[in-house]
Structure 1
Amino acid sequence: MHLLVYANKPQEHYTLSSILYLLFSITYVNVVDINDNVPHFPENLQYLNIAESTVPGGKFGFIGASDLDVGKNDVSSYKLSQNDYFSLEVHKGRDSVSAELVLQKALDRETQPTVNLTVTAVDSGNPPKSGTLQIIINVLDNNDNAPVFSSALYKTQIHENLPMGKTIIFLNATDADDGLNAETEYSFRSKGQDHVLNVFQIDSKTGAISIKEAVINDPLKLYRLEINIKDINDNAPVFSEKLQSLDVPENTLPGVKFGLIEASDLDVGKNGVNTYKLSNNDYFTLDIHKGEDNGGNPPKSGTSLIIISVMDTNDNHPVFSKSLYKIKIPENLSSGSTVITLNATDTDEGSNSEIEYSLRKKGQDHILDLFEINSKTGVISVKGKSVITLTLTAIDGGTPAKSGSMTIIVNVLDVNDNPPVFSQRLYKARVYENVKIGTPIITLNATDLDEGQNGKVIYSFSEVGQGKQTNSFVIDEKTGTVTNKRNIDYEESNAFELRVQASDGASSPLTSHAKLLIEVLDVNDNAPEISLTSLLNTVKEDASVETAIALVSIFDKDGGKNGMVTCKISNNVPFKLESNYKNSYSLVVDGPLDRETAPQYNISITATDEGSPPLSSTSVITVHVSDVNDNKPQFSESVINIYVKENSPVGAVIKKVTAADADIDQNSQVSYSFLQSSSDSVPFSTLLNINSETGDIISLHSFNYEELKTFQFKVQATDSGVPPSHAKLLVWVHCDSHPSGLKIGGICTTFVRIFYRNFKFECMPCCAERNYAFIVSQLVWAALLLRLRGSKLGNSCWKYCQGFTFKHTGFGDPYVQDCWRI
């Protein structure tokens, strides 16, 4: 630092040189800095926007800190708060320090939309000082999530005859992405759904499914809709396991193949898994099996770590630490004393490296009588005998010496120092269910090296951790044979895991354990069970084909083929079973129904399993057919004639008409009425009335032959169905002025029918005081009268009948059919 020092000493007289000296005297002073300032960031808070698709390794700068101090008291380093995603890379120059954030782990906006970091700037002062900067990282969304429906299966019921545009259900799919990436568009899968697309439509924005056609005439028909959401390649392939271990024997020949865990991709089509790649190595290559060549754009990838463990094969011999062992032992070494412990090693692994020691028998009988070796530890010890025979010799001191001898037998008593040993640590057995109680299942075997009671083996089930497993079995304590003590049911339990133990007969017994697994084999002892759920109490006789009537569920307690079931209708009815999914069916209409022919059906449904022999069960569901108004009322005749006497009293029932309807209930209730017509020449409603319920036709007026001889009207029969059906009847009313008729030969001839060749003639009502000619063809009647002339009946008919009607009939000569009085 350069300082100018000014002298202000008062003087009365100054020379030029003194003035210059005083005014411009300069001295140099070094000011030493102390650490009295903290590092300072221009801002306390900084925001960074980073896309979640950023690859780890990306670097991001932030505003740096400054320090008013200098030298080592200036900013010397930066530190970053603990977090899961970023590290700090510090760059130190000659006169400055800077830093960058480095992304270490892929970001996921859906898991953590923001990351809060604290950067600390530190100087090297004594003591050091620091300043902090808060960094908030906003993770920008990438379209890496597929839309997900709130339910994998939506179900709804709709009524028939719904109007076009009626909404029946709202679908809901959500996307974990944000903004435009989260906007979802709904559509139907077009392939194979033409029948659905004709009936329903879906709103691409709201997911609302509505009626496309004005009317649906298929009540309770089941529709299955498949909804598509268009896929983009926004998901990387994922392995179900990040780490896979393979065990490969070391003697495996080149060319042998090993299967790997497959990767899956939430995307579909070409965006699914396309190929695999293997990292560089000296031992393995990748054999890829490809179908159609696919590939997303841009492609995404996933990785899995494979650790290959080279499995050992028994290709190495055990090796002793020495080829020759030399030892010395005292002659009085007691039985069981250790002589030497041998040690051998095997460079193989696992069971291949387990070593079992033994003494070679050939040519070493004398050695085997003295020593024994522990097969596991390699310890050689002095052998103890159960019976030792000794010879004791007494020798005198004479010359020559004489001797005498005796035999000593030493019995070595057994000590319970060996537990029973099972021949296997794990026993497995199979037994069919429903075998007879007491059936032998398996015989266990354990041995004990001890003798007497110490070597006697007693078998039993272990009580520890068994629960109710042993309730089904019993073990013979002497033979080790396991039998069942109650019925074994596969459907109740298909396997048993038992712990068995073998104890010796000592007062303080030694025990060993083994495990017994019993697998129960299924037999076909359960018939299928049928469950029926009615959807309709009755079905209308005009129900369309495929109308659902009931749901049928089948269940078989057996397993395997014994539990595989087929279902069918065993009688001939207009219904069928449609499979929904495994062992679930819909009973639907398969043909026309007619209540008038068959008002109800007893449908026999039979379920049969695939066991040997197969078992089956049958269930009967009764379907009642309800009536629809498909039959009109029927009159027995289409035309009737009513003959009313002149001056008959008012209110008399002149005729009762009746119509029958094959329907039932209100569809068969018939009402009667007159059918008015503009062409009616006579206002008959003023002359007659009809009872709408009984069909009685009642006169409202006394008839006068001179005023009204004949007239016609129509009666209509209407049922009460919706819509109603009708039938019509033509009625002719004739006025009769002769109350008693005309007697001819004792026969009333008021009405006569005469047939001639292909013509039929009906004589209208006769009137004795009137003599009208017949209004018929003169040619025909000329022939008729020739045949009838001279007969009493013919003359009367000519005189009294006022007219004939002309109708076609068969061929033949004219004859009088009948003659009667009305």
Structure 2
Amino acid sequence: MPSLRRGPGVRQCLLLSVFLLAVWETGSGQLHYSIPEEAKHGTFVGRIAQDLGLELAELVPRLFRVVSKDRGNLLEVNLQNGILFVNSRIDREALCGRSAECSIHLEVIVDRPLQVFHVEVEVRDINDNPPVFPMTVKTIQFPESRLLDSRFPLEGASDADIGVNALLSYKLSHDEFFFLDIQTNDELSHSLFLVLGKSLDREERAEMNLLLLATDGGKPELTGTIQILIKVLDVNDNEPTFPQSVYKIQLLENTENGTLVVKLNASDADEGSNSEIVYSLSSDVSSTTRTKFKIDPTSGEIRTKGELDYEERKSYDILVTASDKGIPPMSGHCKISIKLVDINDNAPKVSITSLSLPVQEDAPLGTVIALITVSDRDSGINGQVTCTITIQVPFKLVSTFKNYYSMVLDSALDRETTSDYKVVVTARDGGSPSLWASASVSVEVADVNDNAPAFAQPEYTVFVKENNPPGAHIFTVSAVDADAQENALVSYSLVERRVGERALSSYVSVHAESGKVYALQPLDHEELELLQFQVSARDAGVPALGSDVTLQVFVLDENDNAPTLLGPPARSSVSELVSWSVGSGFVVTKVHAVDADSGYNAWLSYELQPAAGSSRSPFRVGLYTGEISTTRALDDADAPSQRLLVLVKDHGEPALTTTATVLVSLVETSQAPKASSRALVDAARLEGSLVDVNVYLIIAICAVSSLLVLTLVLYTALRCSAEPMEGSCAPGKPMLLCSSEIGSWSYSKQRKPRVCSGEGPPKTDLMAFSPSLSHGPDSAEEGQQLSGSEYLGKVGFKIDQFSACRTIYLKCSYFHCLASSSLNFGEKKKHFRKTW
């Protein structure tokens, strides 16, 4: 029958637990559920996934998990349907004791992205604990002389439940001598007294058995009983009495051992030994209380014993008995109610969990880095904790719920600037003085491929002598990537293009790892003066980043081409008829030669080799013109047939030569007209051809000079616009470098270029340089391979100006030779157009 009466109540609790779920607290951001204690395994708590706005399909991929600090696995979530259910027995009394509020705090954590939700499950009390008395049988001795209305205190029952379930009522079994007096201290605390209502007579009745029933306010009601055995004594008729029945004391929890709590002073109306009082703690005082307090039996002083801790226990109730030494002894009772006062003796605690490390340097703002929990065992303001973070770090703390924080990204990260952060989280309570604690975490920044390989400069100029050995190392490119690991692993490759009719890769190659550039074949200055190409540097990141650098390889000339004869002297020999009557300075003929090299390697000089056995020759040759003319008038001592050997030599190192043979026959004047007639015809043709060639030459020089002047003007304008802070285009460093003597170099501040042409003294090469041109990383190394152009590699020069100036010099020299040759007009015109 009792089980039938409890059945509807249990079912009613289960129904309430089903309907009072999934309630959001307004403005708190916390999910709140409520369940009764002692709920069975599998009891429905709430649809937690639905209430948190999560899809069932994403619970497993996002690593949905529930964490309960110090609560074990009382609650669990079914990942298939997102329902929170009871996993094991929940005993509210074991969980929270007699605390009015009892909740299980859950942290719901999901990843990708990291999110944290706080869930509070309230555990409601049910009436599952009956009232319990300290003992089952209590024996009380009453002298027969005890006056009516004498009172004897009784220890009430205790109930582990709270609220109405712990609201006790008492009932004493019917007896004609005693009745129960209940005094209410507060809602849940009562003082019980057994009151004598009728005079005792030991001879009539020596013992009495009473039953005290305690009933709680739960539904259904639970009860507890204690048997009271009363023995009637016949002696001492006055008991000790205290000035007050209850003493209320407040103590600081850090009170030192041996501190006086209260001094009791009971009195007894008897005399002699019947008035001598002995103090003792009541047998109802628990063993825990006895370890904290002691009483002096003679003086009645109660002192502390051991350390008191507010966080362990907040109050103590001590029952004290004062007994006289009469026979039989009589006793009086009082209650000492001690309440402890909290002090700030507990520092906060900080714990860092659920770290999302390392952090990508391109992580968006607001990314959760770590979860932080702080706690303080103290109460009131002593337990109020504030949390701060290290300054000057790109992170901040965001309060999520009560003492829960999230450390989130507050500003952009750059691993190349800072790759690791030491973050210290400090928690400080509100006590005076305040206590604090800290915890540190190292946040590593993971690299992303956000930096392309970079060269030291956008282009390099390299000088390489022609006729280099195949596979020769001519330069090394180097790019630096600020990223890390594979994102900084740089490889090099050629940017393929066509050089004339051939691919660039047939001329040069670059080592993918070292960046060394190799010439795959011997380079020929006469075929290719400038090889310009790009080398690409790519990192190994995904996606890969890269940059290009331009290499301008100038092929420097070597003296590898001997002079070549033009015109009739190109044959093995040529015959000329000269009249005996010619005077000094008569031009017999002219030797014409050209050299395929450049610069000084193509600068030719002519020498007349002395004939064997001849003391002196009436002929000479112009050192730079190649004209063969008489040095004096001819006489009979001169041989009628003379063989002249002209040596043509360039100015290279070593010099290369070729020879031309001119056979001169001396004839009488009567035979000279034919020769003179032919000479006049040749002279007329030569004069006509020179006029035509000179016209072309003047036009070409004017065009090239105009182009050069325009180039210099544009270059100067670009330099001025690129350097606005240096003022207007004032005279700066020398921009031209010319040779005034063979083999020696000097600066020239002239802005107008000089074109050196014509016959006579050594010609002056016109070259334009830019002192701002930088050198490549291996320019010093490659410079060791240079000879006559070593100074050019140190100073550097502007490529387009150098090419234009050198072309003017070479073509002017060539046109001079062409105009002075004995070719007919058609041949000269053909050579001129082909060369230009």
Greater RCO structure (CA 8 Å; 6+ sep)? 2
Which structure is higher in helix share?
2
Report the TM-score, using the length of structure 1 for normalisation.
0.46
Report the TM-score, using the length of structure 2 for normalisation.
0.45
